[in-house]
Every structure is written in structure tokens, then in C-alpha cells.
Amino acid sequence: MQVKGGAQKNNYFYIAIILLLLIFCVSSFTYFYLLLNSQLLVKGIFINGIPVGGVPKDQAFNFIKKEITVSPFSITVTYQDKNYTITSQDIGLFYDYKQMIDEVYKIGRQGNPIERLKDIYEAQREGKYFTFYPKYEENRLKKFIEEISQDLYREPVNAKIKIKRGIIEITPDAPGLRVNKDKTFEDLKKLIEELIKGNKVNPQVSITVNKIEAAITKSMLEMINGKISTFSTVFNAEEVNRTGNLTLAAKAVDGTLVMPGEVFSLNKTLGPRIIENGYKEAPVIIDNKLVPAIGGGICQVATTLYNAALRSNIAIIERYPHSFPISYVPPGQDATISGDVLDLKFKNSTQYPIYVESYIEGNKLTMNIYGYVENPSRWIDIQTEIVEKYEPKVKYIEDPTLPEGEEVIDVQPHTGYKVKVYRLIYENNKLIKKEFLYTDLYKPVDGVIKKGTKKVENPISKKEPTNSTAAEGVKLPAEDDSSTQQSNP
């Protein structure tokens, strides 16, 4: 009986142990469940040294918003004697309180249950410390730098050259300034990071500025050491309108600087030849006739410049001859321009700048081209060889509006030519080279004479033909300009 009672007592003991274990397990499960599913921040969490554990997120948010505030600062940005100021308020310095709370709230809420419990235990035992720094809007900082950049920006000033009758005057260039925005941004960013961390630093930054070299420098222009070529033509100064047009065009060309590789355009240099720009009516060639038009005479400027360019040995890009030869240069050495259709263009094919001086003295138009003269004893001339000559025909047509026996030249006849043009290179006044350049063809212009057929009461004696356009017989005309016929270079 005693044995049976002892066994019963042991059973009670085991039952008690099992019940205790069950209670412990249930309690532990409940504790850990509540711990893992708590909406409170884990105890032991510190933000910037301030305890925020054991409270709900919203309460912690309001608490740190009150306790942790931005420390204002001001930065001076300097360049030479100029100072610019930017403050923490200008860059929108702020604490992202929501992001701070969201970050610490993750403690004990990431990973599997064992990892989460481990994080909670370590935070409660040892503490979990977070340090957050204010943020700022980088776009505001970049805008500040852009404003400084615009204020400090300086365009480089090109060197200038003026040549008058061989006397060279050069105005030096001046470099420009451009803020190195990337470098200045990085320097400011580093300083701001030090300040928001509370480090004691000098709140001042020097602006990084880069120099912008001028496109044309004094040293470049100093390579112009002399006259490469010169050419002159004469005109009738009594023709007031035509002389005025020549003067305007000569002034427009004077002082032109053509850098290496650049292409000069006479049309672009002169601009529109219109009344508003001061041009007047003077004879031009249209459909093989001399007729009045605005800008007459300009082709003498084109021809004079063309000959100077030929003698300077630079590349001629575009050139057109007249429809018939003109009086002030040999056939094959003329050049015509017209509106935006026909142009005179040449390229500076040298390694150095070239300068065009253009002026009028009395009845003479002169074009001088200056550049780097390597060999003063070397010079160039141009030669024309007439290969073929084509005599014009003369056609008579009856005109009932003219008195019988009277004759008027309607179209001046012009002899046609086929010419070859050569470049002659001299050194020490000795011909060392003869180069063929091109062939020009001037078709003959047949003359047209109107013969009067109108009956009159007192017949007049037969007169010599007259020309309503001031023709000069079959001589080459002094007035010319536009042409409807292009060249055959």
C-alpha cells in the first residue's frame, strides 16, 4: 500500500512539472508574441543621444521634432574683392524627422523571429544609437552657384589690328572668366557637410574660376609682319553715284581680318546693296547691256580685291567673270558679284592671319593684303594669254518710232575672247615659276542698232548711230557690275 501511495505522489509531481512548463511556454510565447508585434519603438534606442524607445512612432516623432533642431549657419563665398553669402535657410536645411523615425522603427522588425529578438535584446541591454544629420536641397545650392557664375562671367576680348598705309597697330587681347561650377559646388558641398556635423571650420569658400583665352590673341596678330600683295584700279571720279558706291564698299572691306582656315565672302562683308545702306544708282551689266541699278560699280571692288588675292597665293573658292571684258583689268582677271547669287570667296589657306586694307585716293582704288612675309624678295604677278578672239556681229532692226535716217545703238557690240590665266612667281626679280590657273571664255556680244523708219516732213540727213546707254563704240566699257552669265573657271 505504501508503494502505491509513493507512485501516486510521483505522478502529481510530474503533472505539476508539466503544468509549470506549459505555463512557462504559454507565458513566454505570449511575451515574445507581444514583444515582436509591439507598435512601440524598441527600448534602448537613441537618436542623436536622445532616448526615444518604448513610445509610439507619432509620440517619438513629435518628441524629436521638438528636441532636435537645425543649427543655422552662414557661408561666405569669395572671388578677389567680391563676396557672396549663402545661409542654411537659403539651401533649405532641414531634418527629415519622418525618415529618422522610420529608420529606428525597423529595429526588431527585420529578419526572422530569432534575429528580431536578438536585435531587441541587444538594444535593451547595450542601447542602439543613431546619428542623423540635416539634409539640404542641392538644387538651391546649384542655383546659387549659377547666379555667381553669371555675375562673374566675362567674355574674352579678341586682340584687334589696324593697318594704315603699312603702319601696324595691335590692341592686346583680354582673357575672359568662367566659374568652374563643378569644382565650386564640390567645395561648398564639403564645407556644408562639415558644418552640419557640427565641426569647427572656417565658413568660407574661394570660387574656382577658369580663364577663357581669346580666339584671337596679340601673339597671333603679331605674325602679320608685312604686305603680301597689292593691287589698284582706276575709275572716273566724276561719276558721283558710282564713286559713292565704290567708297562705301571699300570702307566695308577695309580692316577685314581672315584667320587661318576661314573663308572670306564679299557678299557677306558688304551686306545688301540697297538705298537704305547708302548705295545709289549707277550702270551695271544686265543681259549684256549697261543699265542703271542700285549698287553699280561694286564689281570694281570685287575685281580689285580678287587680283590682290590672286597675287597673295591664297585659295580662291568662288569667282565669276563678267559677261564681257571690262576696261580696268585684262580679260580673265575680273570678278563680278550679284545679290546672293554670284559671290567672291577666298580661303585663308596659310598658317597665319591675313588682313585686308582697302582705300581710295583720288580716282584710284587700292587693295593691300597683309600677312606673314617669309621671303620679302618673293612676289607674284598674274598674266593673261588671249587664245582666241571672236568678232561680234551687228544687227540692224527697223524702229518706226525713230525718224527715218536716225540710228541708235541698242546693244553695244563686244569682242569675245578665250583666255588662259597664269600665275608668275618671282624671286629677286627673276621668274622662277609659271603656273596655269584657269581658262575664261567671254562670248561675243552681237551689236543691235535701231534704224528709224518714221516719215518726217523735213527729212534729216543720216546721222552716226547714237547710244542711249552712253556706249563707247566698241571700246571696252568702264562701267560694269552685275552679269547674268557665270564664269567658266
DSSP state letters, 24-49:
HHHHHHHHHHHHHT-SBPPTTEEETT
H/E/C letters for each residue in 405-417? Answer: CCEEEEECCECEE
- Annotate 420-474 with DSSP letters as a single string: EEEEEEEETTEEEEEEEEEEEEE--B-EEEEEEEE--SSPPPPPPPEETT---TT
Cβ neighbours for 481, distance < 8 A, ≥ 6 positions apart? 282, 283, 284, 285, 293, 295, 296, 297, 298, 299, 300, 336, 338
pLDDT digit string, tens, across residues 303-342: 999 999 999 999 999 999 998 899 999 999 999 999 889 9
Provide the residue type at 29 as one letter: F
Structure confidence by residue, pLDDT tens digits, 420-474: 999 999 999 999 999 999 999 999 998 899 888 888 876 554 555 555 433 332 3
pTM: 0.74
97 vs 82: CA distance, rounded Å: 38
CA distances from 240 to 83, 237, 333, 362 (A): 61, 7, 25, 13
> What one-character DSSP code corresponds to residue 16?
H
Distance CA 129, CA 168 (A): 77
What per-residue confidence (pLDDT) applies to 485?
A: 33
Three-state DSSP at 377 gives: coil
Pairing of strands 394-403, 447-454: parallel
Residue with the three cell numbers 565641426: 199
CB atoms within 10 A of CB 351: 10
Residues of the chain with pLDDT under 70: 1-10, 13-14, 19-39, 458-489
Closest CA to 323 of 417, 447, 439: 417
Task: Give the span between the Cα atoms of 83 and 187, in whole angstroms.
Answer: 16
Cα three-residue angle 159-165-169, rounded to 5 degrees:
20
Predicted local confidence at residue 389, as pLDDT: 95
Burial readout 285-303 (b: 16 or more C-beta within 10 A, e: otherwise)? bbebbbeebbbbbbbbbbb
> How buried is residue 6: exposed, middle or buried, by Cβ count under 10 Å (0-12/13-18/19+)?
exposed
On whether the CB atoms of residues 285 and 483 are closer than 8 A, the answer is yes
CA atoms of 480 and 337, how far apart (whole Å): 11
Query: What DSSP letter does each residue of 317-374 carry, written as one string?
Result: EE----SS--TTS-TTS----BTTTB--EEE--SSS-EEEEEEEETTEEEEEEEE--S
Residues 365, 368, 369, 374, Cα dihedral to 10°: 150
| Phi and psi, residue 56, nearest 5° | -65, 160
Rg of the chain (C-alpha set): 48
Cell numbers placing 436 = 596655269
Show the cell assigned to 305: 580685291
Please provide residue 121's backbone torsions phi and psi, each rounded to the nearest 5 degrees: -60, -45
Contact 123, 46 (CB under 8 A): no
The cell 621668274 sits on which residue?
A: 431
Contact between 263 and 315 under an 8 Å Cβ cutoff? The reply is: no
DSSP collapsed to 3 states, 149-187: HHHHCECCECCEEEEECCEEEEECCECEEEECHHHHHHH
Residue 417: Cβ within 10 Å count: 21
pLDDT, position 92: 94
For the chain, which residues make up each domain, given as ranges?
Answer: 7-34, 138-219, 223-467
